[in-house]
């Protein structure tokens, strides 16, 4: 049992309030990712859970126990840092055993745990080396190992892959996921990289301005973002927003695009509440939800003028303008379009998002 529960957490530095009355719970064995831009409070939240910074109010429960006033070492957590934070003057073995020696764990028990962690992370050959003799990926493995030997139910990761190059990042990401499946422990993982969040998480908490905007499984975050911030932050290349107004005609609801007389049908879209006619909205469509089409049937399409093509290897990104908005479409790598050409990009209204132009909330 290692549920992590944060209740009414307040954290501030001087007059600056970083987190206010924040509530979030990571269930036992869950992989929870805290995702957000820098300065959104995600690392602050993680440090508060670890007990590494002073909180102004609220409670933290780990494994059903109130640990609000406990030292980090007594909270039953292991932590992995972005800069690895390995002790530079100790060998890998020294790094792994330091915490256990501090806790006066018996010698043979230390040996057993180090052997196990080294086996899981495949760092047996590195035990006698110093951190300066390791590559970035190896260092991060050792840092994970240091959390692993503590034999705890909760792992806290503070942007652990941000210092690695793209290839290593992908490799270690897969390993962290495997590790989670193997150990079944609770993991809380801070990142600003939405790919990491989408691939690793059981649930993602998207944060902005110290507030959790949406807490949901990755698929739902991606498909049904609750507001424009979440929609724009998650997904790469990011979602297109086209400004317009709700128009109701002959029982059909559509969006009349600004700066033109095109009306896009929204037949099949699940409204959370039927909006009034003429309400200003932003239509959110992901690049891969748009396909160039020649048919004009159904009228769910955007008429755009090609302005740029970005080849990305496996596919290409076509940039065009609709009125004054830039819109991107994912197209096949072999498809050819001329700059200035007109293209109709069709989509399924059931899959897109609609946000209020003022509040940014999902309509």
Q: Is 178 helix (H, G, I), strand (E, B) or coil?
A: helix
Distance CA 172, CA 164 (A): 9
Residue 29 or 136: which CB sits closer to another protein? 136
Q: How far is the CB of 88 from another protein (least distance, A)?
A: 5
DSSP for 209-271, please give it.
Answer: TTEEEEEE-HHHHHHS-SBHHHHHHSSSSPPEEEEEEEEEETTEEEEEETTS--EEE-TT---
Cβ(21)–Cβ(9) below 8 Å? yes
Residue 50 or 327: which CB sits closer to another protein? 50
Residue 81 or 319: which CB sits closer to another protein? 81
Q: How far is the CB of 111 from another protein (least distance, A)?
A: 18
**Which residue ranges make up the site for another protein (CB under 8 A)?**
47, 50, 52, 71-73, 77-79, 81-83, 85-90, 98-99, 102-103, 132, 134, 136, 146, 158
Residue 71 or 108: which CB sits closer to another protein? 71
Report the C-alpha dihedral over residues 47, 51, 56, 58, rounded to 10 degrees: 100
**Other Cβ atoms within 10 Å of 23 Cβ, number:** 12
Residue 89 or 107: which CB sits closer to another protein? 89
Q: How far is the CB of 87 from another protein (least distance, A)?
A: 5
Q: How far is the CB of 14 from another protein (least distance, A)?
A: 13
65: CB partners within 8 A, 6+ apart: none
Distance CA 57, CA 346 (A): 51
Residue 88 or 217: which CB sits closer to another protein? 88
* CA 182, 185, 191, 194 torsion-angle sign: positive
Q: How far is the CB of 1 from another protein (least distance, A)?
A: 21
Cβ(18)–Cβ(170) below 8 Å? no
Q: How far is the CB of 146 from another protein (least distance, A)?
A: 7
Q: How far is the CB of 65 from another protein (least distance, A)?
A: 17
* Exposure on the CB side of residue 65, measured as CA atoms within 13 A: 11
Residue 99 or 275: which CB sits closer to another protein? 99
């Amino acid at each position: 049992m290692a549920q992590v529960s944060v209740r009414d957490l307040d954290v501030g530095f001087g007059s600056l309030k970083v987190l206010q009355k924040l509530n979030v719970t990571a269930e036992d064995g869950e992989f929870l990712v805290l995702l957000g831009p820098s300065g959104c409070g995600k690392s602050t939240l993680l440090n508060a859970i670890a007990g590494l910074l002073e909180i102004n109010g609220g409670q933290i429960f780990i494994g059903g126990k109130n640990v609000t006033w406990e030292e980090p070492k007594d909270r039953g957590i292991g932590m992995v840092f972005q800069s690895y934070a390995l002790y530079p003057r100790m060998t890998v073995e020294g790094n792994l055993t330091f915490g256990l020696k501090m806790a006066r764990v018996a010698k043979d028990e230390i040996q057993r745990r180090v052997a196990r962690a080294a086996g899981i992370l495949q760092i047996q050959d590195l035990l006698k080396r110093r951190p300066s003799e390791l590559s970035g990926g190896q260092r991060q493995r050792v840092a994970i190992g240091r959390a692993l030997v503590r034999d705890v139910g909760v792992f806290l990761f503070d942007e652990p892959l941000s210092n690695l190059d793209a290839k290593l990042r992908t490799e270690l990401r897969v390993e962290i996921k495997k590790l989670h499946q193997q150990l079944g422990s609770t993991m809380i993982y801070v990142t600003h990289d939405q790919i990491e969040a989408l691939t690793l998480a059981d649930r993602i908490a998207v944060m902005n301005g110290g507030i959790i905007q949406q807490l949901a499984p990755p698929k739902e975050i991606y498909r049904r973002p609750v507001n424009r911030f979440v929609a724009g932050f998650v997904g790469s290349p990011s979602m297109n927003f086209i400004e317009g107004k709700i128009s109701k005609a002959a029982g059909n609801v559509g969006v009349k695009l600004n700066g033109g007389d095109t009306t896009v049908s929204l037949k099949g879209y699940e409204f959370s509440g039927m909006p009034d006619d003429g309400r200003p909205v932003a239509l959110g469509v992901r690049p891969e939800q748009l396909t160039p089409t020649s048919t004009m049937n159904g009228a769910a399409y955007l008429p755009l003028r090609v302005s740029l093509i970005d080849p990305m290897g496996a596919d290409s990104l076509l940039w065009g303008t609709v009125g004054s908005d830039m819109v991107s479409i994912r197209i096949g790598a072999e498809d050819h379009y001329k700059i200035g050409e007109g293209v109709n990009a069709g989509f399924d209204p059931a899959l897109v998002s609609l946000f209020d132009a003022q509040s940014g909330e999902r309509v």
